[in-house]
Each structure stands twice: as structure tokens, then as C-alpha cells.
Structure 1
């Protein structure tokens, strides 16, 4: 019985870590949606109105950020947009990692060390997930270099 509990605990912690890294990019849209939904609720929109406003604000924040990141060409602006999404994910990653580390260890120093590692990994994951939507540059990069090399090889043979 003890062995089953240990195995299930490991799978449970692994699931929470996977969930943290999968949902890391949604920390800023969630925060924006939650803030807008609570503001609408406090202004008298009711529960349904608050939910609608919150979902709309969160979805718009995610969609606009991804569109802006994918369409801009300047690397500095991409870094700024990526950091806007990575910083809240880093804070959320720190809090979750600190709580998960508190389950298995009582030492404050080790708990903080694991939380910092989790925060850095969560922030990097959120930033890298934002870059997944960027189309490859035309004629540049590895794809363009390989196609040019293939053309040169084809021209030399004929």
C-alpha cells in the first residue's frame, strides 16, 4: 500500500509539473481575464457578465499578444512581448514550485532553490511557446540555406 502511494505521488507531482509548463504561457491572459472579470463583477455586471467579460479579456489578451509577436519583425519588440508573457509565468512558476517543493522538504533554503529553478524553467517555457507561432523568415535561416545548397548542388550536376 505504501508503494502505491509513493508511485501515485510521483505521478501526481509529475502531472502538476507538466500542467505548469503547459499552461505557463496563459498566465498573463488569465491574469487579465481575472482582473477584468472581477472589475465587471464589482461594477454590477453579475456573475454571468463577469465571466463573459473575463473570458473575452483573457482571450483577447492571448490572441493580440500572439498576433503581435508573430507579425512584428524587430527582435527587440519580440523580446519585449515575450517578456510580457514570460514574467507572469515566472512568478506563477515560482509560487507553484515553492508549494510543490514544500510537500517533499521542510528546509526553507532547498525549497527556495527548487522554486527558483521552477520559476526560471516556467518563464523560459512561456517565452519559447510564444516563439512557436513565428513563421520562418523568407530565404534566411536553416531552411533557406539548405534549399540554396540543394540548388547549387543541382546546378553543378547539370
Structure 2
């Protein structure tokens, strides 16, 4: 029975890490949606209105980010847009990793080291996904060949 518990614990950690890496790009829209939803609730929209406003805010944040990545041409502006998506993902990765290693190792310095490594891993993964969202530029299909 103990072995089954250990195996299920590893499986749960694996699923949660996979979920974290998959959803890391959506950290900025999620935070924006929660912020807008909280504002709507506090301004008297009720819980249903706050949920709807939060979902619209999150969708707009993601949509505007994708549109800007597709339209903007200067590389430094694209990097700033990508950084806006990557920074919350790295922060979420830090806290998720810290929550896991806090229960597995007593040394606070090693907890910090592994948390920073987890933040870097999630940040790099989020950057790769955001870079994949960006348009690659105009295609050369319309160019006539001699």
C-alpha cells in the first residue's frame, strides 16, 4: 500500500508539472482576468458579472498579445511583449516549485536554489510557447521565380 501511495504521488507531481508547463503562457491573461473580475465584483457587478467580466478581460489580454506579436515588426518590441507573458509564468513557476520543494527538503537555501531553477525552466518553456505564437513574417509564396 505504501508503494502505491509513492507511485501515485509521483504521478500527481508529474501531472501537475505538465499542467504548469502547458498553462504557463496563460499566467498573464489569468492574472489580468482575476484582477478585472475582482474589480467588477467590488464595483457591484455580482459574482456572475465578475466571472463574465474576468473571462472577457483574460480573453482580451491573450488576444491583444497574440495580435501584437503578429503585427509588430521590431524585434525589441516583440521581446518586450514576450517578456510581459513570460515574467508572470516564471513567478508562478517559482512559487509552484517552492511549494513542492518546501515539503521535500529542510534547507531553505536549497529550497531557494531549486525554486529559482524551476522558475527558469517554466520561464524558458513559456518563452518558447510565446515565440511559437508569434507570426514568422511574410511568406514568399507570392514571389514569382525565374
TM over 0.5: yes
Farther off after superposition, 98-107 or 51-60: 98-107
Following the alignment from structure 2 to structure 1, what is the Cα–Cα distance between the partners of residues 74 and 124?
20
Q: Deviations over 1:72-94 (max 9, x none)?
A: 11110110000001111111110
CA displacement, residues 74-117 of structure 1 (integer Å, 9 cap, x when unaligned):
11011000000111111111001000111222221111111101
1:71 and 2:71 aligned: yes
Cα deviation, residue 33, structure 1: 0.4
Larger deviation: 131-140 or 35-44? 131-140
Range 103-112 or range 51-60, more displaced: 103-112
1:54-93 equivalences in 2 (<5 Å)? 54-93=54-93
How far did 1:38 drift? 0.4
Contact (CA 8 Å) 2:90, 2:120: kept in 1 or not?
Answer: yes
Q: Helix, strand or coil for the counterpart of 1:106?
A: coil
The equivalent residue for 1:47 is 47
The residue aligned with 1:143 is: none
In structure 1, how many angstroms separate the alpha carbons of the residues matched to 2:134 and 2:89?
20
What is the TM-score when the length of structure 1 is the normalising length?
0.84
Structure 2 gaps of 5+ residues are none
Compare the two structures and name the one with the higher helix fraction. 1
Q: Secondary structure at the match of 1:104?
A: coil
Shift of 1:133: 2.1
Pairwise CA RMSD = 1.7
User: 1:2 deviation in Å?
Assistant: 1.3
CA drift at 1:138: 4.3
Q: Give the corresponding residue for 1:127.
A: 127
Q: Tell me the distance in 2 between the aligned counterparts of 1:48 and 1:62.
A: 21
Q: Distance in 1 between matches of 2:81 and 2:65?
A: 7
Is residue 2:28 matched to residue 1:28? yes
Q: TM-score, normalization: structure 2? A: 0.91
Whole-angstrom CA distance in 2 between matches of 1:139 and 1:57: 32
Which structure is larger by alpha-carbon Rg, 1 or 2?
1
Bigger Cα displacement from structure 2, 125-134 vs 31-40: 125-134
Residues 13, 42 of structure 1: alpha-carbon distance in 2 compared, 3 angstrom cutoff: same
